[in-house]
Structure 1
C-alpha cells in the first residue's frame, strides 16, 4: 500500500496489523524503554526514535501516519486530566509533524472511548478542529475487539482522516451488529480482581479490557471464573495472544536495563489489537461504500460512537461497534498459560467487595469464597 510511520508505537500493534496489508513501516517513535526493546527485536532495521518532541520531521514519501497517542490522561483508569494533560497532550506533536510534512495521505489515530466523554467532549473538539485546520476530512468509529474473534471485550476509537480520500468508505462500509457468545452458567466469565468496589468488568466468554493499570495502581491481568468455580488468571503469553500478538512477543522488553518482567503486562494492556489494525488495513486496501452518511449532530450533544465531520459540522453515523463477525475463539479453549488466582489476591478482592455497594452476579461471591477455601483460606496478615 505505501510507506507508514508509527508514532507512540508501543509494541507495534498498529504497525503489525497494517503490515499484513502492504504498509511498510519506515519509522517508529516510542519513549518506553521496554517497548523500545520489543520494537528493535520485532521491527529490525526500522529507524526508532525515543522522543516525539525531538523528532524534526517525517520521512519523505510518508503516506500514512499511525498514532496511538498516550491515553493516561483520557482513560477512566488514568488521571483523566484531559487532552491538555502532560501525556495525552502530546497528540499536538502529531499535528506538528503532519503540518511540516504537508499532509500524508492518511492519518490514523487510536485511543480509548472515554475520550468521547471527557471534558464534555473537549478532547474530540480539540482533535477534530486540528484535523480540519490541516485540511483533513475525518471520521471515527468505536470498534469492539470481539468482532475479530478474540475473547476480549475491548472497545477503542479508530479515527481516520485524509486530504485526498474519503475515510467514511473505510470505516462505515460494513456493519455486522453485536453478538454475545456464551452463557454465564456454562462458560468462563472474566472480571477485574483488582476492583471490587467500582466496576467489576464482568464479561461472559471473554475477559474484560486488558489494561496497563488498575484500581490498585498496578498493571495486572484480569481473572476468570471457570464453570466449576475455580478462579484463574491468564499468563502473559495468554494476554499477548488476546491482543493478537504471537506468544512471547514482549519477551525482548526485559532486555532493556531496569525493565522487569511485570512491565510486560503494562505494555500488553496499552497495546492496539493486531486484528483490529489488520481489519483497518484490509479496509484501506479495499474500501466499500459507506452504509450511511448520518445526520448532523445537534450542538452540545454527546459525541456518538461513530461520526464524521467537515467544515465544523459533525454528522452522527448509526453503525455498531461490530463491523464484522470473525469466527469467535471461546475463552475455555483459548487460555494455555493460566494459573490459579492466589489466596492473597482472592482475599483482597473479597475485602474490597465488603467496602462498597457494587452488585455481583448471582453465586459469584460464593464461588470466590469457595476458591479461597480451596486455596487454604484467608492468608495470615503481618
Structure 2
C-alpha cells in the first residue's frame, strides 16, 4: 500500500509498515526535532509541517496512518480530552477522509482514551469513522510481547471501506504473561520520579517510555540491575526498546537539545508492532466471530469491532504474537548512567513516606545504591 503518515513523529509506524512492504507517499509532522529525524531517514518523501495545510490526500494513497497526539488523552498529560488543542487534531484526519476516503485507516493512541470522560474520545473517533462509511476494529496491544523489553500498551484502530478490519486486527492471539519479579536475577524498571501513588514497576522490562513531564523535561526510567546497581538507560538503548536502530534520532540534535530525543522516543509507535500490523494488512486472516461478545452497558472493552451495523465487543488478549527476547540486562548495549544521589534520595524519601507496597528487598537495594553514590555514608533502611 501507499501510505500517508500523519503526525508521523520519528516514523515508528511508517518504519514498521515499510518493513512489511508498504511505502510512504507522504509524511506530516510539525515538531522541529521530529522533522529533523524524518528528513534524515526519509529524505525523498514529501513532509509538510502542518496537517491543517494539507488540502487533500494524494490520489495514490491506500492507507492513512495517524498516531495522533496523545497529550490531552494520557494520564501523564493534561487529560483535556479529545477536544484538547493537540488531540483534537484528529479531526484533520476526518477532514481529509471526507474529501477522499482512503480504503484503509490506522489510528494509534493511549488506552486511557477509552476511559477519559467515560470513553468520549474513543466514541468520537469511531463515530466519525462510521459516519464516513468505514467498518472498524480496535484492540489494545502490548509491546512487551514483540521481543522488546518495554511494557507499553497502546490502542490500535483499523478501519476500511473495502474489507473487514477484524481480519487484520483480531485474528492473531497468543498466550502471553508478564514475567514475575525476581530481584537479584533479572533487571527491573521503574520511574524514580514517582514513589507515592505509583511506580510503573516492570519485571525484566522498563515501564512505558514517556514523552516527559508537562513542561517538556525528559523522564527516563530507572533500572535496578541484578547486581544491585541503579542506572538510567542510554538513549540509544531506549531507541532500541522501541524497535529502532541505535541513534535513529541523532539528527534531532541539529535543532534541539540532546535530551529532546527522550521525548521523541517516548512519543513513538513501537516498530515491530507496526510491522505485525503491516503484515496483516498485506495478508489478512479470517475472523470467524467466535470471540464476539455483547458490548457492555457502560465503558469500552479492551477490543471491539463494528461490522457496518452494530458495535461488538471482542474477547482477545493484548499479545497477537509472542516473540522471544533477551533478559533486559542482556538487551542493554550501552553503559547507563548511575541514578544520581539527588534522584535516588528523593525517590527513597517519597517511597518511605508513602503507603505503596514494594517487592521485598527493593528499598534495601535503593538504600544500598544511595550509600554507594554518597561515598559510603549510611542510609537508614525502611522498616519491613
User: What TM bracket, shorter-length normalisation?
Assistant: over 0.9
Give SS of 1:372's match. helix
Q: What is the CA–CA distance in structure 2 between the aligned matches of 1:7 and 1:217, rounded to whole Å? A: 22
Look up the match of 1:329. 326
Tell me the distance in 1 between the aligned counterparts of 2:361 and 2:345.
Answer: 17
Q: Is the 1:4–1:27 Cα contact (8 Å) retained in structure 2?
A: yes
For 1:215 and 1:195, the matched residues in 2 are separated by 15
In the TM superposition, residue 311 of structure 1 has moved relative to its aligned partner by: 5.0
The verdict on how the C-alpha distance between 1:57 and 1:378 changes in structure 2, with shifts beyond 3 A counting, is farther
Alignment of 1:333-372 (within 5 A): 333-337=330-334, 338-372=336-370
Tell me, in whole angstroms, the C-alpha distance in 2 between the residues paired with 1:113 and 1:237. Answer: 26
Q: Is 2:306–2:312's contact at 8 Å kept on the other side of the alignment?
A: yes
Deviations 1:247-305 (A, max 9, x none): 0000001112xx10000000000000001000101111111122535123133x22111
- 2 CA distance for matches of 1:297 and 1:180? 27
CA contact (8 A) 2:20 2:276 kept: no
Secondary structure of the residue aligned to 2:47 is strand
The one of 284, 291, 296 aligned to 1:287: 284
Q: Would you identify which runs of 4 or more consecutive aligned residues in structure 1 move more than 4 Å?
A: 214-217
Summarize the alignment of residues 55-66 of structure 1 with structure 2, pairs less than 5 Å apart: 55-66=54-65
> How far does the alpha carbon of each residue in 1:169-202 deviate from its partner, in whole angstroms, 9 at most, with x for none?
1111111022234652311111011111221011
* CA–CA distance in structure 2, aligned partners of residues 72 and 116 of structure 1: 14
Consecutive unaligned residues of structure 2, counting only runs of 5 or more, are 378-384
2:301 maps to which residue?
304
Alignment-derived partner of residue 204 in structure 1:
203
Report the alpha carbon displacement of residue 378 of structure 1 after superposing the two structures with TM.
10
Separation in 1 of the partners of 2:178 and 2:199?
18
Query: RMSD over aligned Cα, in angstroms?
Result: 1.7
Instruction: Give TM-score scaled by structure 2 length.
Output: 0.94
Q: Is the 8 A contact 1:211 1:270 kept in 2?
A: yes
Q: Write the deviation string for residues 186-238 of structure 1: whole angstroms up to 9, x where unpaired.
A: 11111011111221011111000000124896222111111222111110000
Distance 2:214 2:61 in 1: 40
Number of residue pairs aligned between Structure 1 and Structure 2: 374
Looking at structure 1, the residues matched to 201 and 214 of structure 2 have their Cα atoms a distance apart, in angstroms, of 15
CA distance in 1, matches of 2:133, 2:313: 20
Instruction: Report what 1:110 is aligned to.
Output: 108
2:160 maps to 162
